[in-house]
Structure 1
Amino acid sequence: MTVIIAFLANILVAIAKTVAAVLTSSASMVAEAAHSWADAGNEIFLLIADRRGAREKDERHPLGYGRAAFVWSLIAAFGIFTAGSIVSIMHGVQELSETGPVESPAVAYAVLGIAFVLEGASFTQAMVKSRRLARERGSSTWDYVLDTSDTTLRAVFFEDMAALIGLVLAAGAIAMHQITEVAAWDAVGSILVGILLGVVAIILIGRNIAFLVGSNASPALRDRVGRALLGSPQIQRLTYLHIEYVGPNRLFIVAEVDLAGDAREHDVARRLREIEQQIEAHPVVETVVLSLSVDDEESLVFGAAAGAPAGAGTGTGAGAPAQP
């Protein structure tokens, strides 16, 4: 729903900005039109990312298709950089030497104002969702948006934020053009919008690459997962834990555990598989692999368990490792 709202808003805004750019001959409006068309196109990639990433795992992809979401989101980020940033900067540089008066500035201001309302509505929806999820995880909204594996939410958040800032820059550039009667201000506005889009694109590209090459979970999530595993009455201690994102809000967990009791090998194998199935029942866990610890390996401790004896449970249950 977040992507669909952003897509509809960007289509309406892109059409309005294009008409305004033709009527006003403003370089800043051209940059804003390119920005909105790039955002609208990117929402299509984000919709594809959601659909492809949600496919169920199979024999060819035992860890699922979640990373496809990072690939398509990466393509969308490159779209912002090429269709938005580069076009805006190049057009602004060209207009520096070929500047002309902005015609009918009232039209530009009206379109920018309407666009601000539409983009603001989309951004508010993304902000509300981000704040709620950040609060659930005990994090700030900014840190959550940067660190979350939900690449679609991050893209919409940053695109809408950049859109609002870009509208202010464009309006300011046109206003400075009118106040100073220096036409170059309009071209400068186009360049500034392009630079803004470039920064946003680089942030999104960097985050998607990080998840594609294999991003480990945050220390906070590692701590929650570790305490959840130790909360199982069947797990006495934990000596190794690896958590990796294999898609938006999808985890691959590998752990070495020491089971309570001294059962036979056949019974131990069955118990391990039962625990794995319990953990995999959690909606954020794609796959979990458990193996037995060696006696002389050091036990891992997590959070409140750091001050307790090794293997002390937390009561959270192995089936609920926590949201990423």
Structure 2
Amino acid sequence: MEKENQNGHGTKHIIQSLLVNIAIAASKGFAAFMTGSGAMLAETIHSTADCANQLLLLLGLKQAKKDADQEHSFGYGKAVYFWSFMVAMLLFSIGGMFSIYEGVHKYNNPEPVHNIGWAIGIIIFSIGMEGYALISNIIELRKRKKSIPFFRYLHVTKDSDLIIIFGENAAAVLGLIIALTALLLSHYTGDSRYDAIGSLAIGVVLIAVAIFLASEVKSLLIGESADAIIIDTINKIAADNSNITEVINCRTVQQGPAEVLVCIKIKIIPDLTTQKISVLINDFEKELRTQHPEVKYLYIEPDFQEWK
């Protein structure tokens, strides 16, 4: 998988989702007030939490761009992974747990749902807005995934911010469909417990999405290897250089969405002068960074015999 350059990691998709969710949260809140629907209140909390989440992602991306300093010699690239993990936790706690609490409360203390027309209209409007954001998100994912199968890309991509937005938007569309179904059932059966069940179902969806997102981000947060294609490139560069006999070992760490740390130990032919070794290493670094500009930190150690 080719990694995108730094310009490929913009904030457009996050800002777009943030603006959509601000409008939707306000409209859902109005619908919840007008109808007394627990499912609509759960969706209001969900969209409000999404707004906070997207602000956290923007904060993470901003912090990730900070230059390396004495305290953080490899930069702040992993900041975006930390805030992505926090987003998953907030989605679990604020969105999912509150929706379940509201569902249990409404089920044990049923209240009639009224003015359902407001809710239906706003849900349809919200589905259109969330659906637009989700489709835009999928289009961006398809651009970046290249030839990799879509769901495989969700697992292997290093772009945690894009995956978080996709998860939020997908959960929002599904949650709205559940809320609409619950409201219609409550209205036509006269049993408001369907609305409570809808709130419970929305909570389960949010918790499931949060667990998925947290598990995907955790690997990046604790230190995940970079894309295997970088190692393939390293092996090819070494094979094409007559002064290198073997790549003894190679270690990579993803430091951020577009930052990779690479440490290589190579076996070279004997009797090379210090100057020739220096030229060899510089040429190796230049060729690797030309093909993979995301390799920001690169260390190459030459040796004359295999070391384990």
Displacement of 1:260 after TM fit? 6.4
Q: Is the 8 A contact 1:226 1:241 kept in 2?
A: no
Q: Is the 8 A contact 2:268 2:304 kept in 1?
A: no
Counterparts of residues 159-308 of structure 1 (less than 5 Å): 159-219=168-228, 222-227=231-236, 230-231=239-240, 235-259=244-268, 262-280=271-289, 282-296=292-306
In structure 2, distance between residues paired with 1:224 and 1:191:
49
1:20 corresponds in structure 2 to: 31
2:148 aligns with one of 134, 139, 143: 139
- Structure 2 SS opposite 1:263: coil
1:29–1:208 distance in 2 versus 1, CA, 3 Å = same
In structure 1, distance between residues paired with 2:20 and 2:235:
42
Q: Is the 8 A contact 1:177 1:184 kept in 2?
A: yes
Q: Which moved more, 1:218-227 or 1:152-161?
A: 218-227
Displacement of 1:257 after TM fit? 1.9
Displacement of 1:130 after TM fit? 0.5
1:312 corresponds in structure 2 to: none
In structure 1, distance between residues paired with 2:92 and 2:186:
27
1:158–1:289 distance in 2 versus 1, CA, 3 Å = same
State the AA in 2 paired with 1:122.
A
In structure 1, distance between residues paired with 2:238 and 2:50:
42
Counterparts of residues 118-157 of structure 1 (less than 5 Å): 118-135=129-146, 138-157=147-166
Q: Which moved more, 1:139-148 or 1:215-224?
A: 215-224
1:294–1:199 distance in 2 versus 1, CA, 3 Å = farther
Displacement of 1:132 after TM fit? 1.4
- Structure 1 SS opposite 2:67: coil
Displacement of 1:62 after TM fit? 2.3
TM-score by length of 1: 0.85
Q: Is the 8 A contact 2:38 2:196 kept in 1?
A: yes
In structure 1, distance between residues paired with 2:259 and 2:298:
11
In structure 1, distance between residues paired with 2:275 and 2:233:
30
State the AA in 2 paired with 1:27.
G
Please report the RMSD computed on the Cα atoms of aligned residues, expressed in angstroms: 2.1
Displacement of 1:50 after TM fit? 0.9
Q: Which moved more, 1:267-276 or 1:17-26?
A: 267-276
State the AA in 1 paired with 2:214.
I
In structure 1, distance between residues paired with 2:183 and 2:139:
32
Displacement of 1:224 after TM fit? 4.7
1:180–1:62 distance in 2 versus 1, CA, 3 Å = same
Displacement of 1:95 after TM fit? 0.6
- Structure 2 SS opposite 1:255: strand
- Structure 2 SS opposite 1:101: coil
1:172–1:23 distance in 2 versus 1, CA, 3 Å = same
In structure 1, distance between residues paired with 2:133 and 2:271:
57
Q: Deviation string for 1:37-67 (max 9, x for gaps)?
A: 0001100000011111122223332222101
In structure 2, distance between residues paired with 1:233 and 1:188:
69
Q: Is the 8 A contact 2:179 2:199 kept in 1?
A: yes
Identity of aligned residues (%): 26
1:150–1:229 distance in 2 versus 1, CA, 3 Å = farther
- Structure 1 SS opposite 2:31: helix
Say yes or no: does 1:106 pair with 2:132: no
1:83 aligns with one of 67, 72, 94: 94
TM-score by length of 2: 0.89
1:121–1:260 distance in 2 versus 1, CA, 3 Å = farther
- Structure 2 SS opposite 1:16: helix
Displacement of 1:293 after TM fit? 4.0
State the AA in 1 paired with 2:301.
S
In structure 2, distance between residues paired with 1:221 and 1:99:
58
1:31 corresponds in structure 2 to: 42
Displacement of 1:265 after TM fit? 2.9
In structure 2, runs of 5+ residues without a counterpart are 1-11
In structure 2, distance between residues paired with 1:232 and 1:81:
52
2:85 aligns with one of 59, 74, 86: 74
In structure 1, distance between residues paired with 2:234 and 2:103:
50
1:293–1:52 distance in 2 versus 1, CA, 3 Å = same
